[in-house]
Structure 1
Amino acid sequence: MELARLLTEVADNAAERGECAGDKPLVAPDALDAAPEPRRVRADAVCGLAGLRFPGTQAQARAGKKETVQDGDGPTWSCEVIDHAIYAVTQEPRLLAGIRSSPGFTEQPRTAGLQVSGFDPTHVVADCAGGTPTYFSMEVEQGCTTALEKPGTAGPRELFDNFVDIVGERFGCTAH
């Protein structure tokens, strides 16, 4: 909690000095959720989501790989399939404002049928659920990169489209 209060104060001070502070300063939370424990990846529900493809070969998926899912009531969801991929999605307005105003943020190829903008094809923002900006991110790690050499392994673009399609439903993002 002390670190959360310190980081909140640092962020408020930086925003003030940069003349980009909002109407109200940020406030540290009263409590923090416990970090999730790694668990075994289920082949039928990667990151706890039916239909989300494993970011690697089926042999790797059956080999007892671990995942850590950050899933709460808030506007942010993330999952790390350890040594394979990190997925994140958020509708947090302050994060989205910063992302959209960053240099290099431009229109990107459609993702899972959605019109998107972002930094590259796997870090994008779509307008979802009645115009709610939603950021989707996927980082591919060594285990997935190694698997790309094997036949039948989905490539990063296919994995990202699958991720946006499956997780997007949860956040009100569906292709029109």
Structure 2
Amino acid sequence: MAGTLAGLHLWLNTNAFGDSTLCAGAVATEEAEAVLTGPGRISDHPGPRRTTADGEIGFDCVIERSAAGLPGSKTGRLHVQGTRERGDFAFTGGRWPDPATVSFFPGGGVAPGRAWVQLPAACTDRQAGVAEAYAEVGADRAKLVRLLTNTANRITGRAGCGQSEPLRTPDRIAPAAPQRPAATGSVCGLSGFTLPAVLRERFQDSGSTWSCGTALGESAEQAYATFSATQDPAVIAGIRKSEGFTGQGFDATHTVTECSGKPTYFAMEPGPRYTESLGAGAPTPQDLFAAFTKAAEPRFGCAKPVEVH
């Protein structure tokens, strides 16, 4: 009897004897277990999109870990999917978090409760391929990134667009940057860059990717504008192969130029407070973007001013 109960416990509340992969082979069960900590058995089912026409890259999967008969236990959920986005998706807002709150690493980024890894350029077909995941806000970021990196290698392998060298999990992920008072005359740490009435700033600098969010106060509703730049080869490759890219960018505030021989992407996303102030003397988006890129030139070694059209 004791043996039967022990076996039942192993089956219901651990992942003993379970499959080694989930989501039709895209995700390693062991890596999902590492993200979904606590007792319980791992299972998976189709996500909200369920089906996709994007061949081997596209998938949508929800992984759950639930413990049967354990008081107080709750179901942990991890949503993993393969999608396509414009190559600069991480800097353009929408359903993506403010890039100033993201810890970037080569070919990806992680924010509280979510992460993504960009697939190699060979996987880009009008839009860049992306492996992304949503987890609990307190999920271990390194484990989530490891899961996504290995997931990206699996789906690119079966799609036949992987690199000769597989994608690697970053050695280090920078901590999230805190918000701080903005310095007069050098907002975002850029000498000579000024913004009207901006009181707070938050910026991330991973080396190849830089982003700064500015605000009139400490709440998201007070956001003024977010400025970003990247020389990450994986991101640049995805941008250049995305539909709508003209050779100089996508539009007047999402551009690519050469800086010390490196293609460099610059972006600006307006916040609600900037939009509200446009009729009250605030600079136009083109003028504000031009001021940002001019101030950023020394930081990125730009040989000539960024062309704004």
Q: TM-score range by the shorter chain?
A: 0.7 to 0.9
User: What is the distance in 2 between the residues matched to 1:84 and 1:119?
Assistant: 22
Distance verdict in 2 for CA 1:18–1:159, change over 3 Å = farther
Matching of residue 77 in structure 1 with residue 210 in structure 2: yes
The one-letter code sitting in structure 2 at the alignment partner of 1:105 is F
| 1:35-54 equivalence runs, <5 A | 35-54=176-195
Whether the 8 Å contact between 1:165 and 1:174 is mirrored in structure 2 is no
User: What is the distance in 2 between the residues matched to 1:15 and 1:66?
Assistant: 41
What TM-score, normalized to structure 2?
Answer: 0.48
Whether the 8 Å contact between 2:185 and 2:192 is mirrored in structure 1 is yes
Matching of residue 104 in structure 1 with residue 252 in structure 2: no
Could you list the per-position Cα deviations for residues 24-61 of structure 1 after superposition, in whole angstroms to 9, with x for gaps in the alignment?
A: 1111123321111100112221111121131xxx3x23
- Choose 135-144 or 30-39, whichever is displaced more: 30-39
- Aligned-pair Cα RMSD in Å: 1.6
Determine which of 233, 238, 245 is the counterpart of 1:93: 233
Structure 1 residue ranges without an equivalent (≥5): 108-116
Whether the 8 Å contact between 2:258 and 2:303 is mirrored in structure 1 is no
The one-letter code sitting in structure 2 at the alignment partner of 1:71 is D
Matched position secondary structure for 1:149: helix
The one-letter code sitting in structure 1 at the alignment partner of 2:169 is A
User: What is the distance in 1 between the residues matched to 2:171 and 2:242?
Assistant: 30
Structure 2 residue ranges without an equivalent (≥5): 1-141, 216-222
Whether the 8 Å contact between 1:53 and 1:159 is mirrored in structure 2 is no
Shift of 1:77: 1.1
Matching of residue 157 in structure 1 with residue 286 in structure 2: yes
After the TM superposition, list the runs of 4 or more consecutive aligned residues in structure 1 that deviate by more than 6 angstroms: none
Could you list the per-position Cα deviations for residues 90-134 of structure 1 after superposition, in whole angstroms to 9, with x for gaps in the alignment?
A: 111111111100011014xxxxxxxxx1111111111221x3111
Matched position secondary structure for 2:267: strand
Higher relative contact order (CA 8 A, sep 6+): 1
Matching of residue 33 in structure 1 with residue 164 in structure 2: no
Could you list the per-position Cα deviations for residues 79-100 of structure 1 after superposition, in whole angstroms to 9, with x for gaps in the alignment?
A: 1113011111111111111110
Matching of residue 10 in structure 1 with residue 161 in structure 2: no
User: What is the distance in 1 between the residues matched to 2:154 and 2:200?
Assistant: 38
User: What is the distance in 2 between the residues matched to 1:99 and 1:3?
Assistant: 25
User: What is the distance in 1 between the residues matched to 2:295 and 2:190?
Assistant: 7
Whether the 8 Å contact between 1:91 and 1:132 is mirrored in structure 2 is yes
- Structure 2 residue aligned with 1:173: 302
Shift of 1:164: 1.1
Whether the 8 Å contact between 2:186 and 2:192 is mirrored in structure 1 is yes
Over the matched positions of the two proteins, sequence identity in percent amounts to 40
Matched position secondary structure for 2:172: coil
- Structure 1 residue aligned with 2:201: 67
User: What is the distance in 1 between the residues matched to 2:302 and 2:280?
Assistant: 32
The one-letter code sitting in structure 1 at the alignment partner of 2:249 is G
What TM-score, normalized to structure 1?
Answer: 0.82
Which entry has the higher C-alpha Rg, 1 or 2? 2
Aligned length in residues: 157
User: What is the distance in 2 between the residues matched to 1:159 and 1:80?
Assistant: 14
Shift of 1:155: 1.1
